[in-house]
């Protein structure tokens, strides 16, 4: 298959050209020439971009994704890292399920005031104890524990 230029890669992958250039700066992808002013890529870049998209959707940072490729560009995915991310996602799912259930209860709670509802008060205690945090804060806290 022939080389494809950056505009074609963007169209085929759905990744903006500016993002492709950024990925190249970060070493996630590599062009290997130019046609006029346009960077040229091997068609295999589309598979690499798909892996990057999967990693991003799974919550991996770009630095973590970069470590999933060998110097020759082949995937080198650390199974322990995948397992750790799956465990992290399980924790996030449990936290979000608990929040959803608490919010659903609060929406239909028969207590005259939310402050009189034992379930709502329990949610407040959990939040005050720092056990409910925003996803980014939870991720930073997890890194500190690692």
* Interval 65-98: pLDDT, tens: 999 988 888 888 899 999 999 999 999 999 889 8
- The answer as to CATH 1.10.10.10 being correct for domain 4-66 is no
For residue range 127-146, list pLDDT tens digits in order. Answer: 888 777 665 554 555 555 44
For residue range 13-26, list pLDDT tens digits in order. Answer: 999 999 999 999 99
Q: Where are the domains of the chain?
A: 4-66, 79-145
Using alpha carbons only, what angle is made at residue 60 by residues 136 and 132, rounded to the nearest 5 degrees? 25
């Amino acid at each position: 298959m022939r080389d494809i230029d950056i505009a074609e890669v963007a169209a085929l992958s759905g990744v903006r050209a500016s993002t492709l250039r950024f990925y190249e700066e970060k070493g996630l992808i590599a062009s290997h020439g130019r046609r006029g002013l346009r960077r040229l890529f091997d068609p295999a870049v589309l598979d690499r971009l798909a892996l990057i998209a999967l990693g991003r959707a799974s919550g991996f940072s770009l630095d973590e994704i970069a470590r999933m490729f060998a110097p020759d560009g082949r995937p080198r995915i650390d199974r322990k890292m995948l397992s750790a991310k799956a465990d992290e996602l399980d924790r996030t799912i449990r936290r979000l399920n608990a929040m959803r259930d608490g919010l659903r209860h609060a929406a239909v709670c028969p207590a005259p005031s939310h402050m009189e509802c034992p379930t709502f008060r329990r949610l407040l205690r959990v939040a005050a104890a720092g056990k409910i945090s925003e996803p980014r804060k939870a991720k930073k806290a997890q890194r500190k524990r690692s």
